[in-house]
Amino acid sequence: MSAIETSPVPDDTGAPITHSATRLDDASKFRIGVILTVIVLYTEISPLQYTMVAAALQKMTKTFPTVGGNINWAVIILGLVGAAATPVLGKASDIWGKKRMLLVCGGLFLIGSVICALTSNWTIFLIGRGLSAFAIATQFISYGLVRDLLPRKYVPIGLGFIGTGVGFSGVAAPLIGGVLVDHFDWRSMFWFLAIFTVVLTPLVIWLVPETTVRLRDRIDPFGAILLSGGALLTLLYLDNGQNWGWTRVSSLLWLIVGLLLLMSFVVVERRVARPIMDMRLLLNPKVSIVLLMTVIGIGITAVQPLALGYMTQTPDSATLRGQIAEGTAAHAAAAGHPIPLNMIRVLLDPGYSYGNGYGMVQYAVHIGMWAGAIGMVVGPFAGVLIRRIGGRLPSIIAFALLTVSAIGFAVSDYSVVTYLVLYGLSGIAFGFLYAALPSLIVEAVPPEQQGISSGMLGVTMSLGTGAAMAVTTALLNNNPVVAHIDVAGHTTTQVIPQVFADRGYTDSFWVMVGTTAVALVIAVLMRHGRKPATGGE
């Protein structure tokens, strides 16, 4: 174990002032397990809220009828604020303590959830969602907490359990959210999340020790603005480019300014005495290659559940034609011109081959929860494997399985059984990936830089998933399904919202094949992670 440094350190050194005096080397396995469980559950507030709210957007439109398509901002704002705040919160955890910042994030999330549960004002609701977004940083702060507290031999396994937590939310969120929304209303989700946080916060306070690893430093405000602002503007373009127009000058300006801010961050931070993150560390191949692999390959983890949710919850084409015909007849009857259904012909151009008409709970039970369930099992096993052989091979396994899965989705005819098998394959990959990525970062950086390094991993994940979702959204919207409605020889046409041609999904899956294949090549060539993980020695 590292020696404790007791001599005072001047305020301007930026040096570590102490090391892990609180490491649980003498603790029982039971106590270690309890502490790890509490940490993992506390980090669940972020993925739980994302999955629940994303699935309930349609229900929320009744409360906010004037916002239209902007209802998606209930989810978009999470990525924007979370990506901007995570690196700064990570740095703050290096300076003031990881447990402390974990609780700060939880407190902001609690306030945000209560605001969302109480308000019917859209602007105030978005403020609540913005406060809730700070919870995204809990997962990345927890990596450093696990590194500092657990005996080194258990650190890779602990990081694997945090990945398991992501799988838990994939199982629990659709079921809990579905039951709450179906039997109460969307506000009940936010009350559940608030109660969940209220119950867990005292457990974190009482059971989880604070790490004594500290960095005597200050947060460079200019660097924080450049990094957070650059991430925010870039993601804003990726999230809204489809609506704004990808190539419009006014849209591209957001992207250009965002990228310029990010590049300026690197340039400026190499020259200041107290950078948010040591640029030599960020540009070290052990860190930069992992971040590059992540930003390229992580997008599939968002695209697959998005596509599967749409495809299974959309009614099949025959049912949709019947619904359109019934709607046309009802509209005509309301106008005083009743039309028999047999006089209405509906042609979908192009047709589509998918669709089950599942509700939220049905989707979770039939397909949505199983990748998360498999990931829960694989995560700890991956942690054991990483302790023995390092994080590189599990990364190779993850991206190889994701590439095979993406190819399967791209070439297979739609079938719930086939897609369930392919998504299960992705679940294995998720377990390996979410254990390997934080472990590779832990092995690459000193303990006093763990918070900001994990924060940078969070930013790259947000940018990678944001870019992948933007590409997928563009491909889907470029392949709409149009209904040609013929009534006694008079034909009208309408674009069916949120229903897309098969080609849109197929093209999206092929893009994911390309990105995961590139990430796989990077993992194969990566020199880092070839030795057994040490837990950050």
What CATH number does the domain containing 454 carry? 1.20.1250.20
| Half-sphere exposure at residue 499, Cβ-oriented, CA atoms within 13 angstroms | 26
- Please report the pLDDT score of residue 69 as a whole number: 63
- Is 9 within a domain? no
Give CA–CA dist 537/527, Å, rounded: 18
Together in a domain, 182 and 237: no
Q: Which long-range contacts (CB under 8 A, 24 or more apart) does 111-118 make?
A: 113/49, 113/190, 113/191, 113/193, 113/194, 113/197, 114/190, 114/194, 116/187, 116/190, 117/187, 117/190, 117/191, 117/194
Kind and range of the H or E element at 125? helix 122-132
Together in a domain, 170 and 63: yes
Distance of CA 386 to CAs 196, 295, 433, 437, Å? 32, 21, 11, 11
Kind and range of the H or E element at 428? helix 416-444
- Please report the pLDDT score of residue 422 as a whole number: 95
Together in a domain, 126 and 225: no
Report the amino acid identity of residue 225.
I
Together in a domain, 383 and 475: yes
Q: Could you tell me the residue range of the domain that residue 92 belongs to? A: 27-217
- Is 7 within a domain? no
Together in a domain, 453 and 408: yes
- Is 392 within a domain? yes
Q: How many domains does the chain have?
A: 3
Is 28 in a helix, a strand, or coil? Answer: coil
Give CA–CA dist 140/450, Å, rounded: 9
Q: Using the 3D structure, point to which of 275, 290, 316 is the last residue of a domain.
A: 275
List, for residues 69-85, the tens digit of each pLDDT value: 677 788 778 878 888 88
Q: Which residues have CB under 8 Å from 201's CB, separation 6+?
A: 42, 103, 106, 107, 110
Q: Using the 3D structure, point to which of 275, 293, 316 is the last residue of a domain.
A: 275
Together in a domain, 168 and 54: yes
Cβ-contact 181, 56 below 8 angstroms: yes
- Please report the pLDDT score of residue 6 as a whole number: 31
SS3 per-residue string spanning 348-411:
EECCCCCCCCCCHHHHHHHHHCHHHHHHHHHHHHHHHHHHHHCCHHHHHHHHHHHHHHHHHHHH
- CB count within 10 Å of CB 497 equals 9
- Is 345 within a domain? yes
Together in a domain, 335 and 481: yes
- Is 11 within a domain? no
For residue 164, count CB atoms less than 10 angstroms from its CB and return exposed for 0-12, middle for 13-18, buried for 19 or more: buried
| Half-sphere exposure at residue 416, Cβ-oriented, CA atoms within 13 angstroms | 18
Q: Backbone phi, then psi, for 366, in 5-degree steps? A: -80, -35
Q: Using the 3D structure, point to which of 233, 251, 275 is the last residue of a domain.
A: 275
Together in a domain, 207 and 282: no
- Is 1 within a domain? no
Together in a domain, 226 and 329: no
Is 495 in a helix, a strand, or coil? Answer: strand
Cβ-contact 159, 383 below 8 angstroms: yes
Cβ-contact 160, 379 below 8 angstroms: yes
- Is 401 within a domain? yes
Together in a domain, 146 and 48: yes
- Kindly report the pTM of this predicted structure: 0.85
**Angle 132-135-136 from CA coordinates, rounded to 5°:** 115
Report the amino acid identity of residue 301.
T
Together in a domain, 399 and 450: yes
Residues of the chain with pLDDT under 70: 1-22, 58, 68-69, 166, 536-537
- Is 21 within a domain? no
- CB count within 10 Å of CB 479 equals 18
Together in a domain, 297 and 403: yes
Kind and range of the H or E element at 431? helix 416-444
